[in-house]
Structure 1
Amino acid sequence: MEPANSPVTELAVRLKEVSIKNTAEAIYNKINLVKQIQNDKQTINVLEEIINDLTTDKNELIQITKCYEQEFLSQDISDEDIEYITKELLPIITTFLPFSGGDSEFVSTIQKILSAETFKILKLLGFNYKEAIGQPLTNLVAQAIQNQNQNQSQNTNKYPVNKGYSSRK
């Protein structure tokens, strides 16, 4: 389920607004009103306004369609990308395990998740790789960096620098 402020949700709201603005019924009602007007110049102005509104709506719908397409493409992963990820990512993850406190069960789980078959199945189901895999990996790397910094801080505190004292007599 999309968060309330996600780009897809915002696009859906814009699509609804554009769709409602100039419905067939609204256009039909405007044309009927124009038919009752006896002034040709006023009739032409109203018809031009209808045409301009419809053209504007069409352009906005095209823009919304392009945004939807961009959102879809940003979440899509090609077969070549899947192959590259499954081949290259696992060794990188196992490098970070000692720093993150991970274990071999975690590696086994990640291997299953990052298999080409699982990727393809999840891709067909519309799986959001960035949220489900990218964000946890980002957290894992951040945790590894924090643990590494803590280890370095602890090591420097174990061996304090001897300030002001000389070992020479």
Structure 2
Amino acid sequence: MDIPPEAVELGVRLAESLARNTATAIDDKVRALLTARKNDQIVAGLEEIISDLVADKSELTRIAQAYQEELIAQRLTDQDVRYITDTIMPMLRKLAQNSGEGGEGQLAQIDAFAPLLSVDTVKVLQILGFNFRQALGEPLTELTRKAILSRVPATSDTQLEGVRREQAYVHLAMDAEAYARFREMFPLS
């Protein structure tokens, strides 16, 4: 399971805060202050401890909010599910109808699949831990990226490999014995 770097950072910050604020650590600080026996030092030390605890509480609140935002970003809302269903299902039906042979079978499969895209089903699956954005969104994004890159002109590395291959052909053509062996391995027809 891939954990987003933001979540890892939040976990580290949470662990640091928890380590600073264990009951033992706070108790040790208070005991050390009380051994000073000077009221102004004790008061100043206790104020510092309280200030640190308040700052750490604020940090913990920010961490909790960041975790909540991360979780919300992974969940599909009811409105998201309705929009996807209202957009995808008609498009799938149209594709099946235009596919010619087997279109009726595809329509039956689409109709069988449609109830899985209900708000209730999506909520249940998300509660069980299914991440639709990761399971469907990321692969679709990767497929789209590959499709776009396949239409992009060759990179300089690809062009360089082509030049190297052509140079190897020239060297092969210049060596009669090597060319003969090459033709034995790869006859013209």
> TM-score band, normalised by the shorter chain?
0.5 to 0.7
Question: 1:28-82 CA distances to partner (integer Å, 9 max, x unpaired)?
Answer: 1111222221211211121111011101110100100110110111112122211
Deviates more, 1:16-25 or 1:128-137: 128-137
The reply on whether 1:123 has 2:126 as its aligned counterpart is: yes
Shift of the 143–95 alpha-carbon distance from structure 1 to 2, 3 Å rule, reads farther
C-alpha displacement at 1:6, in angstroms? 2.6
Q: 1:9 Cα shift?
A: 2.2
User: Which of residues 139, 145, 157 in structure 1 aligns to 2:142?
Assistant: 139
State the shift of 1:139 in Å: 2.6
Q: Alignment RMSD, CA only? A: 3.4
Aligned residues: 142
Specify whether residues 45 and 92 from structure 1 end up closer, same or farther in structure 2 by C-alpha distance, changes over 3 A only: farther
CA distance in 2, matches of 1:52, 1:93: 60
Aligned to 2:84: 85
Deviations along 1:113-169, whole A, 9 cap, x unmatched? 96226523321212222221111222333344456x48xxxxxxxxxxxxxxxxxxx
Larger Rg: 2
Q: TM-score, normalized by length of structure 1?
A: 0.67
Q: TM-score, normalised by structure 2?
A: 0.61
- Gaps of at least 5 residues in structure 1 are 97-103, 151-169
- Contact in 2 for aligned 1:2/1:8 (Cα 8 Å): no
**Identity between Structure 1 and Structure 2 (%):** 36
* Residue identity matched to 1:121: V
